[in-house]
Amino acid sequence: MGMTMSQKILAAHAGEKSVEAGQLIMANVDMVLGNDITSPVAINEFNKAGFTEVFDREKISLVMDHFAPNKDIKAAQQCAKCRSFAKRFDITNFYDVGEMGIEHALLPEKGLVASGELVVGADSHTCTYGALGAFSTGVGSTDIAAAMATGQLWFKVPSAIRFNLSGAPRRWVGGKDVILSIIGKIGVDGALYQSMEFGGEGLSHLTMDDRLCMANMAIEAGGKNGIFEVDSITRTYLDERVNRSYQVYCADPDAKYEAVYDVPLDEIEPTVSFPHLPENARPVRQAGEVPIDQVVIGSCTNGRLSDLAVAAEILKGRRVAKHVRTIIIPATQAIYKEAMKLGYLEIFIDAGCVVSTPTCGPCLGGYMGILAEGERCVATTNRNFVGRMGHVDSEVYLAGPAVAAASAVTGRISSPEEVL
């Protein structure tokens, strides 16, 4: 029986000729990732286990992105623990205030992940790196402690679902609309512990930013990971950032898939997911009159330069509705700087938005945009669970940057066409 892309990567890292779904393997990892919320737990377990060294100081990344700059004493203590650990073991890829970005935008930007590699992180959205042809998945902080010390982890080989992409997206439709549409179709448990593998001729019409966004939200369908076929677009992106050789794996023609879905990109419309699950997706034209109080454009899902470009195109020369707080968060310092050069930040400020340092803050209800009781937010983030961004009686509506920016202008959930 042939293997999928994910199974081939796992087999290679386990030193096996082949693996099959359900098999338990011990595999070597290429990168171990933690942030300022999850790393302290891993560090505590690392110390408790009596480990005295890390397996490779260049294959561990610690990113202070959730509550940095520190929002309170507890956050400061969390980051201090990470700083001490990074200094103790001379961790190469330690990113703090002034250097950090949102982790899942920062690692690809820095060339720290490449095709064919195996990446684990103590954050569920570590599945983002499948856009680069890597096998990447989120694990628990205890697993991260073991991985930092040994460079290995146990894995249960996932089965897979295939998504055949065709056609080209319409104007204002991006990767966020595509993945929300898919999750709306298969449900939040539609890919439970499975690999979501994307390919087909439509892939050529999706940018790397589109793919990173889609792979990021594989976990929102229950997926173990999301992974994209490597093509010329992927290679160009990697070759501009990665300074080491990498391996490209392709699924075998006889690879087994639990299900195969056809995804005509040209049929997808600007999409919004209603509370309180990402699967509650519908075209924006069916949203009805939903007034909002806040818009957040950013996160590891949609805080990249192309996302800011879309928002700037819609907001240029316009003002956000007086009652709508609009928060723009470039995902990394490099993106922030480029957006400044291109004039995006001035457009945002003139429109009445606030521009933040890179942070995950509002996405998880941490800081920089907490919702009060009864408030509604359109966010380009990845989750809209009960209480996700604040009060349990607040509501989060997930959308791409085009819908978010248009909604900020009108003060209600809107399509870009309504303001242009």
The reported pLDDT for the residue numbered 287 is 93
Name the percent of the chain lying above pLDDT 70.
100
Confidence check: pLDDT of 4 > 90: yes
pLDDT at 159: 97
Task: Dump pLDDT digits (tens) for 154-163.
Answer: 999 999 999 9
Residue 1 has pLDDT above 90, yes or no: no
- What does the pLDDT average to over 242-251? 96
175-223: per-residue pLDDT in tens?
Answer: 999 999 999 999 999 999 999 999 999 999 999 999 999 999 999 999 9
pLDDT at position 304: 97
Q: What is the pLDDT of residues 40-92, one digit of tens each?
A: 999 999 999 999 999 999 999 999 999 989 999 999 999 999 999 999 999 99
Query: Model-level pTM?
Result: 0.96
> 179 in helix, strand or coil?
helix
Tokens of 121: 């992180």
248/114 Cα distance (integer angstroms) = 9
pLDDT digits (tens, 9 = 90+) for 329-385: 999 999 999 999 999 999 999 999 999 999 999 999 999 999 999 999 999 999 999
**Mind listing the domains of the chain with CATH numbers?**
5-264 (3.30.499.10), 274-418 (3.30.499.10)
Task: Please compute Rg for the chain using Cα positions.
Answer: 20
Residue pair 380/270 in contact (Cβ under 8 Å)? The answer is: no
At a CB cut-off of 8 Å and minimum separation 6, what does 74 contact? none
3-state DSSP call for residue 264? Answer: strand
